[in-house]
Structure 1
């Protein structure tokens, strides 16, 4: 309800036409463009053609992006849940100690209710609650070792303060623009239903009277949402990578010399393999976390939440893009290696010619004598 598909990111385009509105109409009906500096003809209102030069147009995987909370306002009975990823990893042990020493948040178990039962936290996760209550709704925080945080009932000011607090415990911090752009925001409320669910873009959490079940569902949703923002940061990094090699594809299209060295190609190849390793090997995005193996109801809720955030399709799209990028760098590596071999062959030929020249001079000297 409060989410919409992300817009297509367009680079500056040079439009040569007098019928701008008609060109926009062509755009609105979804006519495709070709990237890489191609010229494209569009039909105008009067039947004539307008030529536009499109350079580097890219379409990012559609994903739900939140509308600003300031534009919507606080809805009675609904609270906000925010998720963001600030780094590749948190020093979770140091962070746990820092939280204990702070006067704001208290690390705790996943659930510790009036029945004196306690549910231990899964490994690599910290659950903390705010020591001070601004409203009747408590504020919960989930810190994941993978560098993601999910905060329940937190304001923008508190989120920004928390980001500053986390900066001392980060490994491989991300760019601030990526952190802000990939932040996820949703609204949640409580329901009398027996199961938590996502309806019309809002999370309907089972009532707090359910005790442990409510806390487990809150953690499960946080886990899936943390995966979504982490995947979002990797998507942004891949887009930056694609932008960085775009000039190479344009040079290839126009038959121009390749403006990249073998060392740079190796570096680009390493970046791709590093990103693929993080996505497919180091994360739990492809596998079901161990926490849900013996909790069938939580597993179903976890899978449905991941489906809501389109994690599987986004993963598939990312791997396809990475494969295409790898094909490009392999082509560049082969081309540059071939040039290197040709250069070596010419050096050998020149050396042979020099040696032959010396031998000719030697024989001439002998003949003259």
Structure 2
């Protein structure tokens, strides 16, 4: 007989970790060397990847993979939250109106965000719920003949679309389904309301996911977010932070590409004493650098506090906690420091090119003076 799984009520405390068994009296303790423990816990992916630039390309996703490997098995149900970033802009008002006219879906927009959800079952993924043990069950319904009873309110799929192109999915079955859904219902059917698409590498770098469950106090740890209410405002706070982290991951990839394009310059300067780059090539690199730097520091969706929290600040502390968890401020500072270093390198190259051109002009002037002197001497010789 299948076991029952219940969702906690509002007043019920949700344990995050299963209680550990206490050792019996007289049981000998095995002492494990510290080095053996550290070697066992060290992620193989970080050992294998020694390349300096590859380590810096996607720091958020590398940390997330390590956390997932070391994540404890949770005793309660956990849902999925995934963010995708395929386009650089979405017309929120028109997309909202389009989904309001679709059967089985509803949408509401507020400032620069659109919340979309299914209005009636069967929900997305419902056909597989009978065999999936990680979906939630209601407190009233029990397991009947080995089939899972689902709390439809908790399992309801919904997503949050942001004007800067991010889409945060809650309770969708899989990453593949989310991509198919976004391609069909948004990028194809509503392509006129979407901006330019990002490259495949940028889309992959911006994708991220965490798990969520319900408890009596909000927290986020080891890529597991514990929601304290069923209020959509709390999900919106988490979605905002996750979407900003996704957008920042895209900029981190672009910064990494700038670093890789310029990584040969210091080595060439050491080996040859100068760099063979034309003024046009140097100007293009400086332009790419300014595009990335201005995009990061002038993008209001990445820097400013969302307007939703100016109107309703109940869940703003949860938003701040989630931003801190994703280390948005530290990552922004690190990205700007890297861009400043590349900018200093470009300035040195421009100074070197100007010096080289000045030397050439000096030699041209000297040659002209010599030619003039020779001509004067020849002129005096004839007379």
TM-score, normalised on structure 2? 0.68
Distance in 2 between residues matched to 1:220 and 1:144, nearest whole Å: 12
Distance in 2 between residues matched to 1:157 and 1:78, nearest whole Å: 19
Higher normalized strand content (fraction of residues): 1
Distance in 2 between residues matched to 1:163 and 1:292, nearest whole Å: 27
Q: CA deviation at 1:310?
A: 0.9
The verdict on how the C-alpha distance between 1:296 and 1:93 changes in structure 2, with shifts beyond 3 A counting, is closer
Q: Which has the higher contact order (CA 8 A, sep 6+)?
A: 2
Distance in 2 between residues matched to 1:336 and 1:58, nearest whole Å: 31
Matching of residue 86 in structure 1 with residue 107 in structure 2? no
Distance in 2 between residues matched to 1:74 and 1:99, nearest whole Å: 35
The verdict on how the C-alpha distance between 1:89 and 1:345 changes in structure 2, with shifts beyond 3 A counting, is farther
Matching of residue 127 in structure 1 with residue 115 in structure 2? yes
Where does residue 17 of structure 1 map in the other structure?
Answer: none
Q: Cα deviation per residue 1:96-126 (whole Å; 9 max; x = unaligned)? A: 45545666753225xxxxxxxxxxx1x2222
Where does residue 179 of structure 2 map in the other structure?
Answer: 160
CA contact (8 A) 1:224 1:306 kept: yes
Alpha-carbon RMSD: 3.2
Where does residue 233 of structure 1 map in the other structure?
Answer: 250
Q: Cα deviation per residue 1:297-334 (whole Å; 9 max; x = unaligned)? A: 32211110001111111111111111111111111111
Q: Which structure 2 residue ranges, 5 or more long, are not aligned? A: 1-15, 17-38, 43-49, 127-151
Question: 3-state DSSP class of the match of 2:81?
Answer: strand
Higher normalized helix content (fraction of residues): 2
The verdict on how the C-alpha distance between 1:357 and 1:247 changes in structure 2, with shifts beyond 3 A counting, is same
Q: Which structure 1 residue ranges, 5 or more long, are not aligned? A: 2-24, 29-53, 110-120, 209-213
TM-score, normalised on structure 1? 0.70
The verdict on how the C-alpha distance between 1:269 and 1:166 changes in structure 2, with shifts beyond 3 A counting, is same
Question: 3-state DSSP class of the match of 1:288?
Answer: coil
Question: 3-state DSSP class of the match of 1:342?
Answer: helix
The verdict on how the C-alpha distance between 1:347 and 1:223 changes in structure 2, with shifts beyond 3 A counting, is same
Distance in 1 between residues matched to 2:52 and 2:326, nearest whole Å: 27
The verdict on how the C-alpha distance between 1:207 and 1:292 changes in structure 2, with shifts beyond 3 A counting, is closer
CA contact (8 A) 2:97 2:107 kept: no
Distance in 1 between residues matched to 2:196 and 2:273, nearest whole Å: 37
Distance in 2 between residues matched to 1:275 and 1:250, nearest whole Å: 24
The verdict on how the C-alpha distance between 1:257 and 1:225 changes in structure 2, with shifts beyond 3 A counting, is same
The verdict on how the C-alpha distance between 1:311 and 1:258 changes in structure 2, with shifts beyond 3 A counting, is same
